[in-house]
Structure 1
């Protein structure tokens, strides 16, 4: 009976894995197939490995420029998120008080508000500060969107660290600010990895707000380039899949680079808040 239960667990795990991997299989199948070859036209489970699709998609969709825009927005946003959210999380975790508790509760409540609801007032604000079609405004917006969850994760993780970590540095003459950056921050690599992956993927794949605030073609990010490619050239599924695969590659590589810290950071953030 115990062996049967174990086999059932493995079977369920395998089924979930297959369901999760299947969309990526379809994406790569289409990206490596000729226009006339598709799953719907027969029982062909292997593509004809047309690698030329990637070069064609790169040249036709101008995805290189779009990925550069996405890299600038994502990279700068993550620098802001890590610097500000870690500092805020440290202040909330180490200096308990009604004000800090109110700040944390406000951030948690703001996480429940769908971003699409505030698009109209955000557009008015962006227009008034001349932020439409600019990198800096999109960077600030993406950082603000990711800040509540990031602060929560940092706060939860720092609460698990012993106070002696920075108190010894303070006794040696450091301020709490310098003690945090010189000592405590080095222990935050797991939660920083979690913040970078969660926020980075969200920013890199953001479409709902980028479509409003980045209207010029030269300012388009990766999701906008793929969408415009489909609208402009029709249902060239193989080229669109190739473009999507190119754009997903940096996200996959980033996850593989940070995965050893990711689970630890997420778990610690969920244990104690």
Structure 2
């Protein structure tokens, strides 16, 4: 009976994996087909291995410049999210005064508000700051929308860390600032990895805010560049559209493989303490 249950579990996991991977497999097959071939012709699972699609897609779609823009926005946002979120989480976890508890409650409420609702007031603020059509402005917008979740993750993780090490550092003459940067921050690697994975993909693929804040074609990120390419240039050339999409998702897959080991640890370690 136990073997049968295990078999059912493994079968379910396998089916779920196949279900999730099927769209990517179809995308990869389309990207390797010749322009003359329709997807439903011949063996659907055997592509033509026509790699010229990637060169043509790269040249015509301006995806290279868009990937640079998305990279700058993503890295800038992640740096703001990690450093500001970690410092805020440390203050809330180690100094649970009334003001910090109120601030934490407000952040939890912000997590329940869809980011698109804040677009209009953010756009008004960005105009006053002359930050529209700037990569640093878009990075600030993405960081602002992601900070509540980051503070929540860092707060739970820091609460799970033993206070004795910090108290020993304070006795030895360290200030709270030095204690955080020299002792606590190096221990936050699992939660930092979790925050990066949870937010970097959304920032890289951000389209709803980018449409408002990055109207200049030279500042377009990856989703905008793909959208413009699909609408104006590719037409019904599914092989070129698929090849360009494959190019765009390669950095995302690489980043996930780099940080995925610490994802579960970063999300669960904060639950060790209430």
TM-score between both structures, scaled by the size of structure 1: 0.96
Shift of 1:28: 0.7
8 Å CA contact retained: 1:27, 1:245 = yes
Query: SS at 1:228's partner residue?
Result: helix
Say whether 1:178 aligns with 2:181.
no
Deviation at 1:198, TM superposition (A): 1.1
Change (3 A) 1:272 1:46: farther
Aligned match of 1:261: 262
Q: How many residues align?
A: 273
Aligned to 2:237: 236
Q: 2:144 maps to what in 1? A: 144
CA RMSD of aligned residues (A): 1.3
Cα 1:244/1:165, change in 2 over 3 Å: farther
Distance in structure 2 (CA, Å) of the matches to 1:272 and 1:238: 51
Between the aligned partners of 2:37 and 2:159, the Cα distance in structure 1 is: 55
Structure-2 change in CA distance of 1:270 and 1:238 (3 Å): farther
List, as ranges, runs of 4+ consecutive aligned residues in structure 1 with deviation greater than 4 Å.
270-273
C-alpha deviations, 1:68-95, integer Å up to 9, x for none? 1011111111111111000000010111
Gap change, CA 1:244 and 1:270, over 3 Å in 2:
farther
Deviations 1:228-249 (A, max 9, x none): 1001112322112111111111
1:40 deviates by: 3.0
Q: TM-score by structure 2 length?
A: 0.96
> 1: CA distance between counterparts of 2:243 and 2:91?
45
Correspondence for 1:126: 126
* Contact 1:165–1:184 (Cα < 8 Å) also in 2: no
State the alpha-carbon separation in 1 of the partners of residues 273 and 207 from structure 2.
33
Using the TM superposition, give the Cα deviation of residue 121 of structure 1 relative to its aligned residue in structure 2, in angstroms.
Answer: 2.1
Counterparts of 2:272 and 2:16, CA distance in 1: 25
Q: 2:26 maps to what in 1?
A: 26
Query: Any idea what the Cα deviations from partners look like across 1:100-155, whole Å, max 9, x if unmatched?
Result: 11111101101111111222222222222221101121111011011000000000
Cα gap change, 1:237/1:3 in structure 2, threshold over 3 Å: closer, same or farther? same
Unaligned runs of 5+ in 1: none
State the alpha-carbon separation in 1 of the partners of residues 81 and 118 from structure 2: 20
Structure 2 vs 1, CA of residues 18 and 96 (structure 1 numbering), >3 Å: closer, same or farther? same
The question of 1:168 aligning with 2:168 is answered yes
Structure 2 SS opposite 1:207: coil
Contact residue 111 and residue 149 of structure 1 kept, 8 A: yes
